Amino acid sequence: MSKNKLYPIFLKLEHKKVLIVGGGLIALQKLVGLLNTDAAITVLAPTIMDEVYACKGVFPDIRHIKFIERDYEFEDEKDFDLVIAATDINELNNTIANRCRDQLILVNSVDQMDYCDFYVPSIVDSGDVKIAISTNGKAPALAQKLRLELERNLDNGFQELVSKISEFRTKVKKKFDKDSDSRRRMKLVCWYTDREWSKFQNKERVNVYQY
């Protein structure tokens, strides 16, 4: 059995510049995934479809995105922190990826595993809970099915559980604020988490039975 050796992380993109090269459906998919981040996003392509432009939103929820309608040029990737090459020309995507790697810029060349420093996972997003699903780049359609299955099991009650545990954790940190209290804090938070998790599971089982 092969192993998934990817290192899962969640990137903080505040004050980071992200470049998407491409203006079609693939670029749209990647752009939508970035809309809820704080990244400064630039979309570069000779033709950008209306649906991509629409991602900037409408007043008062306008998301600032810079759109540049022209062909990719040498060094366009310069000064960006992360680049997604999402054109419909694999050779161009891979050229962009090589350029980025020469400059130590994280890059994803869509559907080209050997030219990716990272893969964009399927995301389950429910309030403060975010789950990333990876099939090591081998079966993205299966990752989408797993996402849908998890979404069905994350309802509003789960967000309430997160809020309760977060509130308790904050109170414990204030009451036991010394470094020497770290073990006590951890035990209290673990105890409370276990208790609330058991209550949540019992509630879910009752709801299923009633249904």
Per-residue pLDDT tens digits for 76-88? 999 999 999 999 9
Confidence (pLDDT) at 208: 43
Residue spans of beta strands (DSSP E) within the chain:
17-21, 40-45, 65-69, 82-85, 106-109, 122-126, 129-133
Q: pLDDT confidence of 209, banded at 50, 70, 90? A: very low
Give the integer Cα–Cα distance in Å for 150 and 131.
9
Least confident of 16-30, 148-162, 163-177: 148-162
DSSP class of residue 19 equals E
For 28-47, what is the mean pLDDT? 96
Q: What is the pLDDT of residues 75-133, one digit of tens each?
A: 999 999 999 999 999 999 999 999 999 999 999 999 898 999 998 888 888 778 888 88
CB-side exposure of 76: number of CA atoms within 13 Å? 24
Q: DSSP letters along 125-177, please?
A: EETTEEEEE--TTS-HHHHHHHHHHHHHT--HHHHHHHHHHHHHHHHHHHHS-
Task: Provide the token pair at 165.
Answer: 């545990």
Look up the pTM and report it.
0.77
